Chain A
């Protein structure tokens, strides 16, 4: 009887083991399947990163070879700014090596924005002066649409800026103070993120503001920090959350809206301030030239050739079919 009990218990254990194994089998096959998908995507990213390192290293070396061989003040500013950005690029690579893809992307967002600002130092061969446009001659409906569009553009610009500043604060906690880098870039001569911009981004979010102030304080001298606090407070007091100080002052004087776009009535009035209008238009033109629209257009450009090639192939195939069998299609 004792033997039977032992046998029974052993069989019971074996059964339990089988049930457990079966359950584990289904679980593991599931994990392996999902892991395979992930590995494929990460392998692709890894490959892209290698190319990215190779390409950016080459570009940075080319920049380095240019340093000190120019008389142009703007060219020298660009060279120095790129030199300043090198540490940020290194940080991005390090973050990638640590598998912190989110941090890498945030750092690249900052680099992207800074390169955009550095690029503004390159003079354009043609400029578009929008101040000459006679707003009174434009249909009211068109003006309304332009205003709505520009307002929306301002909103998305602000959202983007807030995200950038949030990212800069997180990056600071990981060891790189981008507020300091921005300050250095401004000192070099690049018009990039400054205290007013940061004030715009943080004014409506007290918790973000506290984090940003802490990060800024670490990156600048106590005197600079005091000055920056003053500027920030002044910026907030003046309510320039939607625009730069200069544009805002001009805008307010001319009865423009808070975001530096004229109201419909102001645009059509005889007292319309041309300077303020110019400033607002310049800002709009700069947004269009360097903002999201351009990058979206690039994406569309990238999408289109694939399609046109496909279309062309389809068209060729269809033509061939029609040659041999005109009534088939």
Chain B
């Protein structure tokens, strides 16, 4: 009887630490929270009026609209600062387009996400795909947050709000100022570099929890 008790005691310890080793490393609930936050693909039921004009008459289905939006968004993000000073609404319009880009990615990778969910945590399938979507979703969340919205706000409303704000900024009067002196140009460049370095390293520090999560999802991937 005593032997059985001791066996049970060891079994208890073993089970306790075995289950702990799972929760400390894999953390399925946290990963699953992030995956849930990705949402599921649902085609937007409406678009801002001017956005439809931008798509053109021949571009009516979601794939075409997302493709056109992505192209425009990449072009806008790639523009120099001076362009954005002259077209202050462009970046905000690009944020509306980013929403479609995200939805397109979600649509394209939905099956991979489903396979990941089905296999997790025993097998890691399509971890890289899931991580890239999570990163993209976090960017989407931050952009929405900056404009007072969150992931619960519908895509239609988000696009509408971005577009209205973009229109508002575009309605202002752009005025050319005096030319910037050479002295200031040098300092402007250095300040931009300095700020980039500071915010970059700060993000690294703040995102260490996320990095752990990404490592965990991608570690020993089976795909």
Contacts from A to B (Cβ < 8 Å):
15, 19, 22-23, 26-27, 29-30, 33-34, 37-38, 40-41, 44-45, 48-49, 52, 55-56, 59, 62-63, 66, 70-72, 74-75, 78-79, 82, 101, 104-105, 108-109, 111-112, 115-116, 118-119, 122-130, 132-133, 142, 145-146, 148-149, 151-153, 155-156, 281, 285, 288, 291-293, 295-308, 310-311
Partner of A128, one of B18, B136, B169, B187: B169
A-contacting 9-mer, from B51-59, B111-119, B200-208: B200-208
- Chain B residues near A19: list those with CB within 8 A: 6, 9-10, 13
Once the chains bind, are B202 and A108 in contact (CB under 8 Å)? yes
30 CB < 8 A contacts A-B: A19-B9, A23-B13, A30-B24, A33-B21, A41-B211, A41-B215, A56-B197, A59-B197, A62-B190, A104-B205, A108-B199, A126-B85, A126-B175, A126-B177, A128-B85, A129-B175, A132-B171, A132-B172, A142-B164, A145-B165, A151-B148, A153-B146, A288-B92, A292-B146, A300-B139, A304-B73, A304-B77, A307-B101, A307-B105, A308-B70
Asked if B174 is at the interface of the complex by the 8 Å CB criterion, the answer is yes
With both chains docked as a complex, state the minimum distance between the C-beta of A244 and any C-beta of chain B, in angstroms: 20
User: With contacts defined as CB atoms under 8 Å apart, how many contacts are there between chain A and chain B in the complex?
Assistant: 243
Question: Whose C-beta in chain A lies nearest to the C-beta of B135?
Answer: A303
Residues of B within 8 A of A125 (CB): 82, 85, 176-177, 179-180
A45/B77 contact (C-beta < 8 A), A29-B21, A293-B143, A308-B70 known: no
The verdict on A296 contacting B146 (CB below 8 Å), with A19-B9, A130-B169, A304-B74 known, is yes
Q: Are B215 and A40 in contact (CB under 8 A)?
A: yes
Q: Which residues of the other chain, A, contact B201 by a CB distance below 8 angstroms?
A: 48-49, 52, 108
Picked from B146, B176, B188, the residue with its CB within 8 Å of the CB of A126 is B176
CB pair A142 B167 closer than 8 Å: yes
B183 adjacent to A23 (CB under 8 Å): no
Instruction: Using known A-B contacts A72-B184, A115-B194, A288-B169, determine if residue A128 contacts B174 with beta carbons closer than 8 Å.
Output: yes
| Minimum CB–CB distance for B26 against chain A, Å | 10
Complex interface: chain B residues within 8 A of A127 (CB): 85, 174-175, 177
Q: Could you tell me the distance in whole angstroms from the C-beta of A253 to the nearest C-beta in chain B?
A: 23
In angstroms, Cα B10 to Cα A125, docked, is 74
- Other than the known A33-B24, A145-B165, what 8 A-B pairs have Cβ atoms closer than 8 Å? A108-B205, A122-B184, A127-B175, A127-B177, A156-B146, A285-B172, A298-B199, A300-B98
Contact size class for B?
Answer: 35 or more
B217 at the interface (CB under 8 A from A): no
The CB with the most chain A CB atoms within 10 A, among B168, B193, B206, is that of B168
Q: State which of A129, A133, A148 has its C-beta within 8 Å of the C-beta of B168.
A: A133
3 A-B pairs closest in CB distance: A152-B148, A26-B17, A126-B85
A146 with B168: CB separation less than 8 A: yes
Q: How far is the CB of A32 from chain B (nearest CB, A)?
A: 10
State whether B175 touches A66 (Cβ < 8 A).
no
Contacts of B167 in A (CB 8 A): 142
Is B173 touching A34 in the complex (CB atoms < 8 A)?
no
Query: Do A41 and B184 have beta carbons less than 8 Å apart?
Result: no
For residue A306, which residues in chain B have a CB less than 8 angstroms away from its CB?
132
